[in-house]
Amino acid sequence: MTVTIALGRAALLAATAMILPGNALADFDYVAGISATGTAEGAETVSGTVFHDLSRDGGFQADEPGVAGVMVSNGRDVVVTDADGTYELPTYENMTVMIVEPAAYDVPTDRNGVPQFFRHHLPEGTPEDLRYGGLEPTGPLPETIDFPLVRTGPTDAFSCVMMGDTQPYSNTEIGYVRDATLDSILAEDLSDAECMVMLGDVMGDDLSLLPRFMSLFSSVGLPQYYVHGNHDFDFDASTDEHSADSWRQIYGPNYYAFEIGEATFIALDNVVYPCGPQDDGPGGRDACTDPEQTVYNGRVTDRQMEWLAGILENTPEDRLIVMLHHIPFVSFIDSNTGRHQTDNLADIHEMLAGRPAVSFSGHTHTLEYLDAGEWYQGWEEQVGVTRLPFPHVVGGAPSGNWFFGDMGFDGTPLSFARGGTPPGYMMVRFDGAEFTVDFRAAGMPSDRQMGLAFNTPGFRDWFTTLMDWTETRDDEDEEAAGISGTPPVTVNDLPDTRLLTPADIDGTTWLTANVWNGGRTTEVFAQIGDGPRMPMRRSQSGEGEDVLTGAEYADPFSVPRQMTVGRYGWESTQGDPRAQGFELWQGSDFGPAKPQSAEAWMVADQSPHLWRLEMPADLPSGTHVARVTAVQPDGREWTDYIVFEMRPERPFPYWDDTLWQDAAN
Q: Which residues pair with 249 in a beta bridge?
A: none
Distance in angstroms between the alpha carbons of the first and the last residue of the chain? 72
Tell me which of 152, 183, 203 is where a domain ends: 152
179 shares its domain with 321: yes
- Report the relative pairing of strands 622-631 and 523-528 from DSSP bridges: antiparallel
Angle, CA 439 vertex, CA 355 and CA 114 arms, to 5°: 70
285 shares its domain with 434: yes
256 shares its domain with 396: yes
391 shares its domain with 463: no
pLDDT the model gives residue 40: 87
Tens digits of residue pLDDT in 101-111: 999 999 999 99
Give a yes or no: residue 452 inside a domain.
no
597 shares its domain with 640: no
Residue 19 gets the label, from left (phi > 0), alpha (psi -120 to 50) or beta, of alpha
pLDDT the model gives residue 315: 98
pLDDT the model gives residue 28: 87
pLDDT the model gives residue 483: 64
pLDDT the model gives residue 282: 85
pLDDT the model gives residue 41: 81
Mean of the per-residue pLDDT values of the chain:
93
631 shares its domain with 504: yes
The domain that holds 631 is classified in CATH as 2.60.40.10
Tell me which of 103, 134, 152 is where a domain ends: 152
213 shares its domain with 352: yes
pLDDT the model gives residue 185: 97
9-19 vs 210-217: helix crossing angle, rounded to 10: 20
**Full domain range(s) for residue 631:** 495-539+606-660
pLDDT the model gives residue 476: 78
Question: Percentages helix, strand, coil for the chain, rounded to the nearest 5?
Answer: 20, 25, 55
Give a yes or no: residue 249 inside a domain.
yes
Give a yes or no: residue 426 inside a domain.
yes
Give a yes or no: residue 84 inside a domain.
yes
Tell me which of 91, 120, 152 is where a domain ends: 152
pLDDT the model gives residue 18: 41
Give a yes or no: residue 20 inside a domain.
no
- Listed as ranges, residues in the chain with pLDDT below 70 are 1-27, 477-483
521 shares its domain with 629: yes
242 shares its domain with 386: yes
Give a yes or no: residue 547 inside a domain.
no
Give a yes or no: residue 95 inside a domain.
yes
218 shares its domain with 90: no
pLDDT the model gives residue 281: 86
DSSP 76-128: S-EEE--TTSEEEEE--SSEEEEE-BPTTEE--B-TT--B--EEEE-TT--SS
142 shares its domain with 289: no
49 shares its domain with 189: no
Domain count, the chain: 4
Give a yes or no: residue 9 inside a domain.
no
